């Protein structure tokens, strides 16, 4: 068996072990409902951060409207379960398809724009999605969609996260992923090396949007009510911050970023008046002292001790 495959297997086993531990603690009543909710939120935020990282960090296309795609996934999902009585898995898949299609339709024309212009366009599109939803009476308009079944639990959130992580990890470690990274590094050179830059930008954007749709579906079925105001550009900023905090272009970084941001928000929940001030200052200081984020372009598997351990477990010698 190929060593890379063995490493995948080791990581899968590790992922399952983490799941078993946390699920065991939840079943054993060791984790209260507040932290249970936050663990689920971490999983959802990891999906959001990793999918946004594919667009922003790996492909270098600065998008700040990710909450819009989450909203599409959430609303498609709740309509599927509430109005059509479909199971959660179908709702998540439909939400992903809906958000993915919209991502494709939006990405095709807008990804011609560069840098700040793309950023502001995606921000605008995210807001338009929200305002359009607000005006659809079928899904509750501005008041929001009520009476959603509480279908999301830790297992769903965790395995959706695991699928996202494996998808994105495998994607970026392939010729397709390298094409995206090449676009980030130097678009003109990428094109000269035979990379169809438009195709890969749109591909990254569509995949990112689809996973944001999954996250939206999970998010919606966690609460009994969703409203368009959960998906403003401030929410998009929050996901962007997770990505930047962790490191643009690092999956491990996005996991860490989602974890830290969710954890800090939860920990500061009892000091609402200071929460956002501390958050803002932390953000500015981070940019001063570690603008590349916690991990930069590195993955945890690149760090020597972790690499050694992985090599040992998968029975190969490191380079």
Partner 1 sequence: MAENTKPLLKTEDVSEVFGGLKAVDDFDFYINRGELIGLIGPNGAGKTTIFNLITGVYVPTTGEILLDGESIVGLKPYEITQRGIARTFQNIRLFSELSVLDNVKIAYHCHVKYGLLETVFRMGRYFGEEDAITEQSLKLLKIFKLDEHAHEVAKNLPYGAQRRLEIARALAAQPKLLLLDEPAAGMNPQETHELMEMIRWIRSQFDLTILLIEHDMSLVMGICERIYVLEYGIIIAEGTPAEIQNNPEVIRAYLGTEAVN
Partner 2 sequence: MDFLHQFIQQLINGVSLGSIYALIALGYTMIYGIIKLINFAHGDIYMVGAYLGFFGVTAAGLPILPSLLISMLVTGCLGMVVEKLAYKPLRHAPRISLLITAIGVSFFLEYAGMYFVTATPRTFPNTGLNFAFDVAGFIINGQQLMIFAITIILMAILTYIVQKTKLGKAMRAASFDTETAQLMGIDSDRVISMTFFIGSSLAAAAGVLVGVYYNTIDPLMGIMPGLKAFVAAVLGGIGILPGAVVGGIILGVIEALVAGFLSSTFRDAAAFAILILVLLVKPSGLFGKNTNEKV
Of residues 183-202, those binding partner 2 (CB under 8 A): 188
Q: Cβ 182 to partner 2, closest distance in Å? A: 16
User: What SS3 class is residue 145?
Assistant: strand
Provide the terminal-to-terminal Cα distance of the chain, rounded to the nearest Å: 18
Residue whose pair of structure tokens reads 């960090």 in the numeric block? 57
State how far the alpha carbon of 71 is from the alpha carbons of 93, 144, 171, 250, 274, in Å.
Answer: 14, 11, 24, 25, 28
Residue 185 binds partner 1, judged by CB under 8 A: yes
Tell me the backbone φ, ψ of residue 222, rounded to 5 degrees: -90, -35
| CB-nearer residue toward partner 1: 9 or 280 | 9
The residues, ordered by sequence, that sit 6+ positions from 266 with a Cβ below 8 Å of its Cβ are 34, 35, 38, 41
Q: What is the DSSP string of 149-185?
A: -----HHHHHHHHHHHHHHHHHHHTSHHHHHHHHHHH
Q: Which residues pair with 289 in a beta bridge?
A: none
Tell me which stretch binds partner 2 (CB under 8 A): 23-31, 257-265, 275-283, 308-316. Answer: 275-283
- Among 42, 49, 71, 182, the residue binding partner 1 under the rule CB under 8 A is 182
Which residue in the set 92, 99, 235, 248 belongs to the binding site for partner 2 (CB under 8 A)? 248
Angle between helices 115-134 and 233-246 (to 10 degrees): 140
Q: Does 284 bind partner 2 (CB under 8 A)?
A: yes
Largest CA distance in the chain: 60
- Lay out the site mask for partner 2 across 104-133 (x = CB under 8 A, - = otherwise): -----xx-xx-xxx-xxx-xxx-xx--xx-
Within 28-87, the residues that bind partner 2 by CB under 8 A are 62
Q: Does 319 bind partner 2 (CB under 8 A)?
A: no
Q: Encoding tokens for residue 239?
A: 């996901």
Residues that bind partner 1 (CB under 8 A): 2, 4-5, 8, 166-167, 170-171, 174-179, 181-182, 185-186, 188-197, 203, 297, 319
Residues that bind partner 2 (CB under 8 A): 62, 109-110, 112-113, 115-117, 119-121, 123-125, 127-128, 131-132, 134-135, 142, 188, 233-234, 237, 240-241, 244, 248, 273-277, 279-281, 283-284, 286-288, 291
């Amino acid at each position: 068996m190929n060593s890379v495959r063995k490493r995948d297997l080791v990581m899968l086993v590790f992922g399952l072990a983490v799941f078993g531990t946390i699920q065991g603690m939840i079943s054993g009543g060791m984790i209260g409902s507040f932290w249970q909710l936050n663990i689920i939120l971490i999983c959802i935020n990891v999906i959001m951060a990793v999918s946004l990282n594919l667009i922003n960090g790996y492909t270098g296309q600065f998008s700040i409207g990710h909450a819009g795609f989450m909203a599409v996934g959430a609303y498609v999902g709740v309509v599927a379960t509430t109005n059509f009585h479909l199971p959660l898995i179908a709702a998540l898949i439909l939400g992903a398809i809906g958000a993915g299609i919209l991502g494709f339709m939006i990405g095709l024309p807008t990804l011609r724009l560069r840098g700040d212009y793309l950023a502001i366009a995606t921000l605008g599109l995210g807001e338009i999605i929200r305002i359009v939803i607000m005006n659809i009476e079928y899904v509750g308009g501005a008041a929001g969609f009520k009476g959603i079944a509480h279908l999301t639990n830790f297992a769903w959130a965790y395995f959706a996260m695991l699928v996202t992580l494996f998808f994105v990890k495998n994607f970026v470690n392939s010729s397709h992923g390298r094409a995206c990274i090449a676009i980030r590094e130097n678009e003109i050179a990428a094109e000269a090396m035979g990379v169809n830059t438009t195709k890969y930008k749109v591909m990254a954007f569509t995949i990112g949007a689809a996973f944001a749709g999954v996250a939206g579906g999970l998010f919606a079925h966690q609460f009994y009510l969703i409203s368009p105001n959960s998906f403003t550009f401030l929410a998009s900023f929050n996901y962007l911050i997770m990505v930047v905090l962790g490191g643009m272009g690092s999956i491990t970084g996005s996991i860490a970023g989602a974890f830290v941001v969710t954890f800090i928000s939860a920990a500061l929940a009892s000091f609402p008046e200071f929460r956002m001030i501390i958050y803002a200052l932390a953000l500015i200081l981070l940019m001063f002292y570690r603008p590349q984020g916690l991990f930069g372009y590195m993955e945890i598997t690149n760090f020597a001790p972790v690499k050694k351990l992985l090599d040992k477990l998968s029975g190969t010698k490191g380079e």
